[in-house]
Amino acid sequence: MRGQVKKVLFLVVVWVVVAVKARALPGFRVEKVGDLVPFVSSIAVDSKGQVYYATTSGKIIRGAQTVATVDTDAMGNSGLIGMALESDDSAVVHYTTLNQTADVIARIDLGTGQETVIHEFVCDIEVPSRGSNPEHHGGNPIVAPDGSIFVAIGDYGSFAIAAKPEWNAGKVFRIRPDGSVEQFARGFRNPFDMAWDAANERLFIPDNGDANDDEINIIQAGAFCGWPFTMGNGPDVDGAVKPVYVWPSIVAPTGVVAPANRLMKGGYLIATFVGKTIFFVKDDSTPVSLIDAPVGSIVDVAETPDGRILFTTGLALYELVMPKPGDCNGDGLVNAQDLDALDREPAGKTTDARNWGCDANADGFINADDRISLLHVIAGRVRAVR
């Protein structure tokens, strides 16, 4: 995230769903779940649907209960800046030590609160006690299916060291289950989150640019992403992997999740701090903004076991409610008016975020079968009313 995170007043978690004034793509809507103890840097959901929050001040919170605290110093892009669940019983966290002398990856027992340090990445390899700038330390770790932990660390605002293999800044690391640490990729400015594509052994990772060059990278082990010599639509640099997408204006990508629900499976959701929206994208396609009127700067996004999409502004928790199957005109209802909207859709068209509601039978295509499914739904409701 860009700039200094402002400290805010204490807010109590309130588990009440209320409507908020935020426009979205047809069929989508935003609901506020509740206020949070600020400032929340990360959210995660376990297999039972329990939501966990990490605060920059060092707390891990479940509901309204603090289950663990790490010793950190919250300032700028430092503090407890990321969290991922390994299981319902343990979390992996990324935080900076006091004075930002190291980026720490640790395991937290969610029952006892006990911390076990997995690895410390020294910020200044020349004078370890000197520490670093509090900016550009990255964010969420992720846990791959084989138990590997991936973590991205930003360049600390120091530019050149992002390209130098011997420094930890500006790198993505893979920590294997046996504890061994590999430098997976280098040449990043400040990547906040990522998703691992295990089937293709590749990483989906947005990066925050220096100006109008926020980007999405899809990379494999050994990749050099160019920073500080190039970024976004900058000039080609020998050996550098070009991004698959560059936003035309500053959005500041933050949280990332690869959803498993029927509409979004195979794609990625990207939260944005400056853009104040959530984008949906598949591989190297153009990202689609799902929220047209912002509720605030979005820090992280997560999926629940039943496919609901939650996101946080750091101060509150929201749900991005998705279109109902058959709601082709996006008015929140499924009725005869959706038949007219469906008839205007090109036959055989694959679905995307703009027309998910038209996919009445949820097969990923829009065709005559959806009209049959929609007619069954409408007819059933008419009979029930009579």
More confident residue, 291 or 145: 145
Residue 351: per-residue pLDDT: 66
Determine the average pLDDT of the residues in 237-249. Answer: 96
- The string over 78-97, giving b where at least 16 C-beta atoms fall within 10 Å of a residue's C-beta and e elsewhere, is bbbbbbbbeeeeebbbbbbb
Secondary structure letter of residue 356 according to DSSP: G
Residue 270, SS3? strand
Determine the average pLDDT of the residues in 171-189. Answer: 98
pTM of the model: 0.89
The listed range with the strongest mean pLDDT (19-28, 202-211, 361-370) is: 202-211
**22 close to 298: Cβ distance less than 8 angstroms:** no
6 pLDDT band, cuts 50/70/90, is very low
Residue 380: per-residue pLDDT: 64
Distance between CA 268 and CA 303 in Å, rounded?
11
383 pLDDT band, cuts 50/70/90, is very low
Q: What is the identity of the amino acid at 109?
A: D
Lowest mean pLDDT, pick from 100-104, 217-221, 301-305, 321-325 = 321-325
Sheet containing strand 142-143, strands side by side: 142-143, 149-153, 171-175, 181-186, 223-224
Residue 349: per-residue pLDDT: 63
Residue 110: per-residue pLDDT: 98
Instruction: Evaluate if residue 15 carries a pLDDT over 50.
Output: no
Closest CA to 193 of 302, 294, 296, 292: 302
Token pair recorded at residue 128: 């370890």
Instruction: Evaluate if residue 208 carries a pLDDT over 60.
Output: yes
Closest CA to 113 of 148, 178, 65: 65
Determine the average pLDDT of the residues in 187-211. Answer: 97
Distance between CA 370 and CA 265 in Å, rounded?
19
Distance between CA 279 and CA 216 in Å, rounded?
12
Residue 353: per-residue pLDDT: 73
Residue 378: per-residue pLDDT: 86
Which residues on adjacent β-strands are paired with residue 210?
Answer: none
Give the start-to-end residue ranges of the domains of the chain. Answer: 18-321, 336-385
365 pLDDT band, cuts 50/70/90, is confident
Closest CA to 104 of 155, 60, 54, 141: 141
Q: Which CATH class is domain 18-321?
A: mainly beta
The pLDDT tens digits of the residues spanning 316-353 come to 999 999 888 888 888 888 999 989 988 888 766 666 77
DSSP class per residue in 30-79: EEEEEE-SSPEEEEEE-TT--EEEEETTSEEEETTEEEEE-----STT-S
Residue 293: per-residue pLDDT: 67
Give me the sign of the Cα torsion angle 197, 200, 202, 204. Answer: negative
Give me the sign of the Cα torsion angle 212, 214, 215, 216. Answer: negative
The pLDDT tens digits of the residues spanning 105-118 come to 999 999 999 999 99
Peptide bond into 39 cis (omega under 30): yes
Residue 114, SS3? coil
Determine the average pLDDT of the residues in 85-89. Answer: 98
Residue 23: per-residue pLDDT: 45
Closest CA to 34 of 15, 53, 60, 10: 15
Instruction: Evaluate if residue 183 carries a pLDDT over 70.
Output: yes
More confident residue, 151 or 20: 151
Secondary structure letter of residue 321 according to DSSP: E
For all residues of the chain together, what is the average pLDDT?
A: 89
